[in-house]
Structure 1
Amino acid sequence: MSIEHLIEHYGIIAIFLGTAFEGETAAFLGGIISHRGLLTYWSASLMASAGSFAGDQMWFFAGRYASRWHVVRRLMETPTLAQVTSLLERYPTGFILAFRFLVGLRTISPIVIGTTRISTGKFVMLNAIAALVWGQLFTALGYLFGHGIEHILGRLPLHHHLFVGLGAAAIVAGAALVFRRAFRKVSANAS
């Protein structure tokens, strides 16, 4: 059984689960796979949006209804919590629309939001809008990256294409973390 066969049959499920539990890398790879023609762009991007939406809803409900569970309490005690809570209190709607784009805050944010008085209906609506934008953006980046790699290096075998995509996603994620840490240091020194 080839990797192409597996992707054609299970790629949509993998994108959904990957974006629900991991995020950007799964959506990005979905774009690369759709560029290769194994899945349509719209199926990959909509599944990325659906997975992101479902994962964030799960964490929101964990904050809302399972805040006494040990796992949830442990997540709530992380140092990132103060930063998330501060942003959420100042800009509730903007924060709900933006948290999935903030590196390192994606999992903890919906839990924190679930512990607040923000209504479930408001969160569902804003989460759906943000997930739709997020899924389209990261899948499109993967699609364009696949096109660029093919333009520069020619049509690589799929497994090479995916490894290059994973490497690029890792570099972007690493750069975002370095930038975030540097920004925190500058902010702390300015205070």
Structure 2
Amino acid sequence: MSLEQVISEYGLVGLALGAGLEGETVVIIGGLMTHRGILPFWPAVVAAATGSFLADQLFFLLGRRFRGHRFVRRFQRRPAFARALAAFDKYPVSFVFAFRFLYGLRTVSPLAIGTTRLSARKFLAINAAAAIVWALIFVTIGHWFGQAIEAEFGRIKSAEHLIGVALAAATILGIAVMLVRRNTKIKSSKTDS
């Protein structure tokens, strides 16, 4: 069963579960479904935010409650755990807000933050705000990309086509940014010489 079929069959509940378990891909598909009129836009944002919020709260509480347990110690040996703690130490509030946007740190970060001294109340408040912003951004991306692609190419046959186009566009954008940065570094090193 594809992600699109899960959301089609289970609606907002499927979107909430998918947002908590998988993340952006499911939420973008949910945005595409809002474009198609299968799901209502604002309830989709609420469902995605709720799923993401609850999953991150659960991992935070696991980190807090089971700091010394082998489950958490196994995660502590991962390089991503160390990166998450290092980023948290530098910018605690900003990192709590932004970790869900950082590839490779999304799942391990709330667990790592749970092992710190950050209060559960503060994490809850920041996590709630971040989940809402995150859900709004990714549902909107799915909604807008669906609208733009359908306007350009006609009806999208599946969410996989949308995701493929979005990934190709992101790759091209990433390469362009990397080339611009490289050229800027080269020019600045020549002027420093």
Q: Fold match, TM over 0.5?
A: yes
User: SS of the counterpart of 1:140?
Assistant: helix
- List per-residue Cα deviations over 1:120-178 (Å, max 9, x = no partner): 0000000000000000000000000100111011123xxx2312123245557878999
Higher relative contact order (CA 8 A, sep 6+): 1
TM-score (norm 1): 0.82
**Conserved 8 A contact 1:146-1:161:** no
User: SS of the counterpart of 1:54?
Assistant: helix
Unpaired segments ≥5 residues, structure 2: 182-193
Question: Does 2:161 correspond to 1:164?
Answer: yes
Unpaired segments ≥5 residues, structure 1: 184-191
User: SS of the counterpart of 2:158?
Assistant: helix
Pair 1:59–1:174, CA change in 2 (3 A):
farther
Matches within 5 A, 1:178-189: none
User: Which residue does the alignment assign to 1:131?
Assistant: 131
User: SS of the counterpart of 1:50?
Assistant: helix
Q: What amino acid is aligned across from residue 162 of structure 1 in structure 2?
A: A
CA distance in 2 between partners of 1:94 and 1:139 (Å):
22
CA distance in 2 between partners of 1:115 and 1:103 (Å):
21
User: SS of the counterpart of 1:118?
Assistant: coil
Q: What amino acid is aligned across from residue 76 of structure 1 in structure 2?
A: Q
**Conserved 8 A contact 1:16-1:48:** yes
CA distance in 2 between partners of 1:139 and 1:63 (Å):
29
Q: Which stretch of the first structure deviates more once superposed, 47-56 or 166-175?
A: 166-175
Q: What amino acid is aligned across from residue 161 of structure 1 in structure 2?
A: S
Percent identity, aligned pairs only, is: 41
Which structure has the bigger radius of gyration?
2
User: SS of the counterpart of 1:53?
Assistant: helix
Matches within 5 A, 1:1-191: 7=7, 9-156=9-156, 160-168=157-165, 170-171=167-168
CA distance in 2 between partners of 1:170 and 1:62 (Å):
33
Pair 1:87–1:8, CA change in 2 (3 A):
closer
**Structural RMSD (CA):** 2.7
**Conserved 8 A contact 2:76-2:82:** no
Shift in Å, 1:4: 9.2
